[in-house]
Chains A and B, each alone.
Chain A
């Protein structure tokens, strides 16, 4: 982070964690603790509450924003980007539908303030395919039907992409761990496991049998 750039100096998760550790104190002390927490974390000085000008690098392109510091990266991408691939589902770091890569690291965009993403390269699901050519992960999701309504799909594609970047031949157990921060209500999980195996060039077992009625049991 450049010292001259506007930044909150803390993200929602660190902030909440800080509050949590002081939650045992009585109300007055708690309020002081909150102020201290902010003071410690704020770094170069308070920003906002009005809009702040800043630049983000998204999928290799620079984009100017003029937003209040409280705007999350997810909100900035979706409503001011406008890149709507990352989805808003829980807005509380519980579902992974907003997953993006920040300098190659998988993060929940709902837990990052937009101004704190300055100086980082942000990759969203829109930035994966180049010139209409899908990545092996995207193609495997299609081939294995690892998507249904598709609302969790951008997040699961990003999570699988991040996994394969650090581990080119993950085991099924490693896939389960890597994708366990992404919820899917349609229940595509069995096919997501297959897609991750297929995208990493590993064998995928067929688990569906079709029997014609009338054939012998």
Chain B
């Protein structure tokens, strides 16, 4: 089995990004920025109805407008549409303004149909049926331990029961979804803002019915994905068809409104949880029912949590007895997709909230209660390290005991994630002048993948990372899979290492230099003569593994007069195996915390019950965190090089919401049972205002 060197020279050292210069000077070209000759601007006409029978789409006026080069339908003229924002037609024009004008000139005739956009409404007997099957899916049932779980609850020392809710969260990467596609005969070049260039290649090849080998997909830089950017998407297919029809490259980048409607979201959850513990503080039983909605993609006969609404309940703790059923709810809203740690943040919020409630009921410190019931050895250590740094022993007080009116509280929560990855290939080229180019068909979502390639190659050759030229983000490079599941670093680094080792061995054999690394590098490369040396490599067992944990400690301030919550401090403790670049790893954890704070306090897709439309369409009303929300953050990384590389993007986003919710409950002495924890909900929990009805 392959192994990483020990000690290391480059791996594990804080390393600025090799592409940072391009990013701070505006030189980095994103898909949004590429402008091939003759580029046309594409835009999509979307359904303004949440449900309708479309009877006619008249594009003749649009076709005749100035600058318009192509107008196409997205799925036939007569069809049923099932959510606000579903694609109807697309135009390509010389300018954005002309494309907008052409969209407005398309005439759509439709008969509106009854619709439903709220989870609670969709399961009522008189609700309109959204798809072929019933809106509420069959249950996905699981159980373990004593089948007579009700008896356990009856005799337990402490029982807590609550309904906890989490909203639909929108990804909103700053660069919207989009592609620039150039179809020339049966050859295609596409620039894609994607987490998987090969998935876009295969999707476009299918869409255009051309060989996969005729399609090149490029993603040099991309502005974030968070799970929603795999494959070309409907919009990518439309760009391809427009390019084919117009005979010119077509760029379709979604508008911010489009982004909120049609290209994915984190499903909601409505968790009915009943947990029991014994007098010894050990968890006894969990009774779980969850209903979540992935929009139009749930429900029907797909067994429970269908379409991605299932979540990881009960989360991380050892319950000897469990009864669980999960359902998916179909409604007239855009489809869900993977979102950074799918199924984990809502499960963590629900479970961790109930864990704290049980601890309070048993008169135990919530941290001690966790240490008693969390069987994971690494997380046990992370709790202890974090508690020390955070000052938990001093800061934790009985719920609501801060006199206020601005009350401080603390809370904690844990996370688990698989990570790991395999299957990548890579290529290293050594030139006679000593320069090195390393190629791998992965992509850098902002996680720092390009820099990881440079660090691993530098380690192999005894060079500095900035001496390595890295080529990624292109399907003409050796295969690497999609960047999802926190698997990229674990998948590509072993392939890069293997390619570099093979290149180094070949260099040493060919030149007779026993150790060509470091100080001997330039002289050894000179001996290559005039031909560069190229070697391939692939993922090797032993350099990566899976299974990462993490914990957060949160300190918040709650203003009991305004209901406003401010996160003062987060201590995050994480492990991810061998840490390749602690600087970028810290950025990933910071980013997970900032997104987690948004999930805890601000973010919620709001659909209007009366019209079926999205109400918060841009960042003025769909609130993500900004720099003013940034708490004091301390990060502790447990480095475990002996485990190989695992991954960190997803575990970082899981625990903040649970830790913050617990800190809020600790501050004010009552619990807000639904995310986001808005001032209105805080004041309602305090009994100062009535509960807000849902929109």
Residues of chain A whose beta carbon lies under 8 Å from any beta carbon of chain B: 68, 70-71, 75, 78-79, 82-92, 94-95, 97, 124-126, 128-129, 134, 138, 141-143, 145, 147-154, 157, 175-177, 179-193, 207-213, 217
Asked if B126 CB lies within 8 Å of chain A CBs, one says: no
Residue in A89, A141, A189 whose CB lies within 8 Å of B256: A89
- Residues of chain A within 8 A (CB-CB) of B584 are 145, 148
Most buried by B among A90, A91, A92: A90
Could you say which of A68, A71, A151 contacts B224, with CB atoms under 8 Å apart? A151
B582 touches A208 (CB 8 A): yes
Of B170-178, B265-273, B510-518, which binds chain A? Answer: B170-178
Whether the Cβ atoms of A151 and B30 lie closer than 8 Å is: yes
> Residues 113-138 of chain B: 1 if any A CB is under 8 Å from the residue's CB, otherwise 0?
00000000000000000000000000
**A36 to B469 Cα, complex, angstroms:** 60
- Residues of A contacting B619 with CB < 8 Å? 90, 92, 94-95, 183
Contacting B587 at CB < 8 Å: which of A84, A126, A148?
A: A148
Expressed in whole angstroms, the minimum distance between the Cβ of B208 and any Cβ of chain A is: 26
Which listed residue (B26, B95, B639) contacts A85, Cβ 8 A? B26
Q: Are A149 and B587 touching (Cβ within 8 A)?
A: no
Q: Which 8 A-B pairs have the closest CB atoms?
A: A85-B26, A149-B446, A187-B594, A151-B223, A187-B591, A150-B23, A84-B33, A148-B446
- Contact (Cβ within 8 A) B223 A150: yes
Q: Once the chains bind, are A180 and B628 in contact (CB under 8 Å)?
A: yes
Flag the segment in B14-22, B401-409, B430-438 that touches A. Answer: B14-22
Q: In the assembled complex, which residues on chain A have CB atoms less than 8 Å from the CB atom of B595? A: 185, 187
Contact B586–A145 (Cβ < 8 Å): yes
Q: How far is the CA of A52 from the CA of B381 in the complex (A)?
A: 67
Nearest CB on B from A20, distance (A): 13
A82 contact set on B, CB distance < 8 A: 35
A-B contact pairs, 13 of them (CB 8 A): A134-B21, A150-B22, A154-B24, A182-B626, A185-B624, A187-B625, A189-B594, A189-B630, A190-B590, A208-B586, A209-B634, A210-B637, A211-B637
Question: How far apart sit A87 and B384, CA to CA, in the bound complex (Å)?
Answer: 43
Is B524's beta carbon under 8 Å from chain A?
no
**By the criterion CB–CB under 8 Å, are A187 and B592 in contact?**
yes
- The reply to whether B590 and A188 contact each other, CB–CB distance below 8 Å, is yes
Q: In the complex the two chains form, what is the Cα distance from A88 to B41 in whole Å?
A: 14
Which of chain B's residues have a CB closer than 8 A to the CB of A68? 97
- B445 at interface (Cβ–Cβ under 8 A)? yes
Nearest Cβ in chain A — how far from B687, in angstroms? 33
Say whether A147 contacts B23, CB under 8 Å.
Answer: yes
Contacts of A211 in B (CB 8 A): 385, 636-639
Q: Is B637 a contact of A217 with CB atoms below 8 Å?
A: no
Q: How far is the CA of A129 from the CA of B626 in the complex (A)?
A: 27
Residues of A close to B587: CB separation below 8 A = 145, 148, 186, 188, 191
Q: Which of B12, B175, B625, B642 contacts A87 (CB 8 A)?
A: B175
Q: Which residue of A84, A141, A207, A217 is within 8 Å of B26 (Cβ)?
A: A84
Q: In the bound complex, what is the Cα–Cα distance between A188 and B620 (angstroms)?
A: 20
With A147-B17, A187-B595, A188-B591: A180-B446 Cβ-Cβ less than 8 Å: no
Inside 8 A of A71's CB, which chain B residues have their CB? 97
Which residues of chain B are within 8 angstroms of A210 by Cβ–Cβ distance?
12, 579, 582, 636-637, 639
Q: Report which residue of A70, A148, A192 has the largest number of chain B beta carbons within 10 angstroms of its beta carbon.
A: A148
Interface centre among A83, A89, A180 (most CB of B within 10 A): A89
Is the CB–CB distance between B635 and A207 below 8 Å? yes
- Could you tell me the distance in whole angstroms from the C-beta of A199 to the nearest C-beta in chain B? 11
Residue in A closest to B378 when the chains form the complex, CB atoms? A213
CB neighbours (8 Å) of B249 from chain A are none
B28 at the interface (CB under 8 A from A): yes
CB distance from A160 to the nearest CB of B (A): 10
Q: Whose C-beta in chain A lies nearest to the C-beta of B380?
A: A217
Evaluate contact between A185 and B590: CB separation under 8 angstroms: no
Please tell me if the beta carbons of B17 and A142 are within 8 angstroms of each other in the complex.
Answer: yes
CB of B20 within 8 A of CB of A147, answer yes
B388-432 contact mask (Cβ, 8 Å, vs A): 1 or 0:
110000000000000000000000000000000000000000000
| Min distance, Cβ B631 to any Cβ of chain A, angstroms | 9
Secondary structure dominating the interface of B? mixed
A-B contact sample (10 more), CB < 8 A, given A84-B32, A212-B638: A84-B26, A138-B24, A145-B16, A151-B223, A151-B224, A183-B619, A189-B627, A208-B582, A208-B636, A211-B637
By the criterion CB–CB under 8 Å, are A125 and B26 in contact?
A: yes
List, in ascending order, chain B residues with CB within 8 A of A150's CB.
Answer: 19, 22-23, 28, 221, 223, 446
With beta carbons under 8 angstroms apart, the residue of B26, B97, B381 that contacts A83 is B26
- Tell me the smallest distance from the CB of B303 to a CB of chain A, in Å: 34
A142 touches B174 (CB 8 A): no
| Pair B24/A209 contact, Cβ less than 8 Å | no
Cα–Cα, bound, A213→B16 (Å)? 25
Establish whether residues A176 and B637, one from each chain, have CB atoms under 8 Å apart when the complex forms.
no
A141-B24, A148-B446 in contact; A207/B633 too (CB < 8 A)? yes
Other-chain contact of B33, A78, A175, A183 (Cβ < 8 Å): A78
Q: List, in ascending order, chain A residues with CB within 8 A of B636's CB.
A: 208-211
Q: Which of A70, A83, A87 contacts B174 (CB 8 A)?
A: A87
The answer on a CB contact under 8 Å between A213 and B638 is yes
If A82-B35, A211-B385 touch, whether A142 touches B24 (CB-CB below 8 Å) is: yes
A65 to chain B, nearest CB (A): 12
Contact of B109 with A by CB under 8 A: no
B25 touches A134 (CB 8 A): yes
Contact of B624 among A154, A180, A183 (CB under 8 A): A183
Asked if B618 is at the interface of the complex by the 8 Å CB criterion, the answer is: yes
Closest CB-CB distance, B501 to chain A, in whole Å? 25
Complex contacts, A183 vs chain B, CB 8 Å = 174, 619, 624, 626
Say if the beta carbon of B447 comes within 8 Å of chain A.
Answer: yes
- A residues less than 8 Å from B26 (CB atoms): 83-86, 124-126, 154
A152 to B26: give the CA distance in the assembly, Å.
11
Residues on the B chain within 8 Å of A89, using CB: 174-176, 256
Taking CB atoms, residues of chain B closer than 8 Å to A148 are 224, 446-448, 584, 587-588, 591
Complexed CA–CA distance, A189 and B633 (Å): 11
A217-B20 contact given A176-B627, A210-B639, CB 8 Å threshold: no
> Which residues, 359 to 404 on B, are CB-close (under 8 Å) to A?
381, 384-385, 388-389
Of A79, A153, A175, A190, which one neighbours B95 at CB under 8 angstroms? Answer: A79
A92 and B21 contact, Cβ closer than 8 Å, known pairs A152-B174, A183-B624, A191-B590 = no
What CA separation (Å) do A151 and B24 show in the bound complex? 10
Residues of B within 8 A of A212 (CB): 638-639
- Tell yes or no: B583 within 8 A of A by CB: yes
Say yes or no: B640 contacts A209, CB within 8 Å: no
Tell me if B553 counts as interface (CB < 8 A to partner A): no
Asked whether B543 is an interface residue with its Cβ less than 8 Å from the other chain, the reply is: no
| Known contacts A91-B255, A126-B26; is-contact A151 B634 (Cβ 8 Å) | no
With both chains docked as a complex, state the minimum distance between the C-beta of B71 and any C-beta of chain A, in angstroms. 21
Q: A90-B618, A213-B638 are in contact. Are A129 and B20 (CB under 8 A)?
A: no
Chain B residues within 8 Å of A157, by CB: 24
B97 contacts A70, C-beta separation under 8 Å: yes
Instruction: Return A172 CB to nearest CB of chain B, in Å.
Output: 10
Asked if B164 CB lies within 8 Å of chain A CBs, one says no
Complex Cα–Cα for A152 and B41 (A): 23
* Interface status of B96 (Cβ within 8 A of chain A): yes
Q: Which residue of B lies closest to A96 (CB)?
A: B626
Contact check, B24 vs A97: say whether CB atoms are below 8 A apart: no
Q: Which of B41, B575, B620 has the most CB of A within 10 A?
A: B620
- Contact: A142 with B446, CB < 8 Å? no
Residues of A within 8 A of B20 (CB): 141-142, 145, 147
- Are B256 and A91 closer than 8 Å at their CB atoms? yes
**What is the bound-complex CA distance between A175 and B630, given in angstroms?**
12
